[in-house]
Amino acid sequence: MTAIPHWTLMPEVGSASVPIKSTADGDILREAYEWVIGWLAGDEPGTDPAMALGPQATLVYDTEKFDATHALRVAGHIAATAAALIEGPLPEGFSPLSDREREHLVHGLDGSVRELPARPFHELFAQRAAQHPDTVAATSWDGQAWTYGELDRAANRVANGLLERGLTAEEVVGVATGRTPGWLVAIIGIFKAGGAYLPIEPDYPPARIATLMEQSRARFIITSELLDELMRSPDHAPGVEVGFDRLAYVYFTSGSTGLPKGAMCEHGGMLNHLTAKISDFRLDATGVVIQNAQATFDISLWQLIAPLLAGGRTHIVAQDEILDVRRFLDAIVKQDATVLQVVPSYLDILLRETERQPRDLGRLTHVCVTGEAISKPLVQRFFAQHPDIRLVNAYGATEASDDTTHEIMAAAPAEELVPVGRPIQNVTVYILGSGDTLRPMGSAGEIAFSGVCVGRGYINDPARTAEAFGADPFRPGNRLYRTGDYGRWLPSGTLEFHGRRDEQVKINGIRIELGEVEARLREHPDTRSASVIVVALPGVGKSLVGFYAGSIAPEAMREYLQEVLPANAVPARLHAIDELPLNANGKVDKKALAARAVALDEPDVREAPATATERRIAQAWADALDRPVERIGRDDHFFDVGGGSLTALRVVAELDGLIGLDDLLSTPVLGELAAKADARA
User: How far out from the chain centre does Cα 71 lie?
Assistant: 33
3.40.640.10, 3.40.50.450, 3.40.50.1820, 3.40.50.12780: CATH of 121-489: 3.40.50.12780
Q: For helices 344-356 and 376-385, what crossing angle results, to 10°?
A: 40
One-letter amino acid for residue 617 of the chain = I
**Closest among 567, 568, 447 to 506, alpha carbons compared:** 568
- Report the C-alpha gap between 538 and 628 in whole angstroms: 9
Q: Could you report the per-residue pLDDT of 583-622, keeping only the tens digit for each?
A: 545 567 787 788 778 767 765 567 899 999 999 999 999 8
- Report the C-alpha gap between 365 and 387 in whole angstroms: 10
**Residue 183: exposure state from Cβ atoms within 10 A (0-12, 13-18, ≥19):** buried
Q: What percent of the chain has pLDDT over 90?
A: 55
pLDDT at 217: 97
Q: Is 640 left (phi over 0), alpha (psi -120 to 50) or beta?
A: alpha
Query: Which residue ranges make up each domain of the chain?
Result: 6-96, 121-489, 505-589, 612-680
**Residue 360: exposure state from Cβ atoms within 10 A (0-12, 13-18, ≥19):** exposed
β-bridge partners, 431? 447
Task: Determine the Cα angle at 453 with ends 566 and 410, to 5°.
Answer: 85
pLDDT at 569: 86
pLDDT at 27: 39
pLDDT at 498: 81
**Residue 605: exposure state from Cβ atoms within 10 A (0-12, 13-18, ≥19):** exposed
pLDDT at 516: 76
Which residues in 271-362 belong to E strands, given as ranges? 288-291, 313-316, 339-342
- Report the C-alpha gap between 293 and 495 in whole angstroms: 25
Q: Which residue stretches of the chain have pLDDT < 70?
A: 1-66, 86, 255-258, 501-504, 508-509, 538-540, 582-587, 599, 602-605, 626, 642
CA distances from 595 to 89, 503, 536, 572, 589 (A): 43, 19, 10, 16, 10
3.90.1150.10, 3.30.1330.20, 3.50.50.60, 1.10.1200.10: CATH of 612-680: 1.10.1200.10
- Report the C-alpha gap between 117 and 279 in whole angstroms: 13
- Report the C-alpha gap between 486 and 488 in whole angstroms: 7
- Report the C-alpha gap between 430 and 109 in whole angstroms: 9
pLDDT at 649: 83
Task: Determine the Cα angle at 636 with ends 635 and 640, to 5°.
Answer: 145
- Report the C-alpha gap between 238 and 192 in whole angstroms: 7
CATH architecture of the domain with range 505-589: 2-Layer Sandwich (3.30)
pLDDT at 319: 87
pLDDT at 34: 46
Q: Does this chain's domain 121-489 share its CATH topology with 612-680? A: no
- Report the C-alpha gap between 430 and 445 in whole angstroms: 9
- Report the C-alpha gap between 255 and 459 in whole angstroms: 13
Q: Could you report the per-residue pLDDT of 318-332, keeping only the tens digit for each?
A: 988 888 889 999 999
pLDDT at 342: 93
Which residues in 201-311 belong to E strands, given as ranges? 220-222, 247-253, 261-266, 288-291
User: N- to C-terminal Cα distance for the chain?
Assistant: 88
Q: For helices 612-625 and 670-680, what crossing angle results, to 10°?
A: 130
Q: For helices 344-356 and 645-655, what crossing angle results, to 10°?
A: 0
- Report the C-alpha gap between 629 and 621 in whole angstroms: 8
pLDDT at 653: 83
Cβ(309)–Cβ(121) below 8 Å: yes
Cβ(389)–Cβ(281) below 8 Å: no
Q: Tell me the residue length of the chain.
A: 681
Alpha-carbon dihedral of residues 411, 415, 418, 423, nearest 10 degrees?
Answer: -90
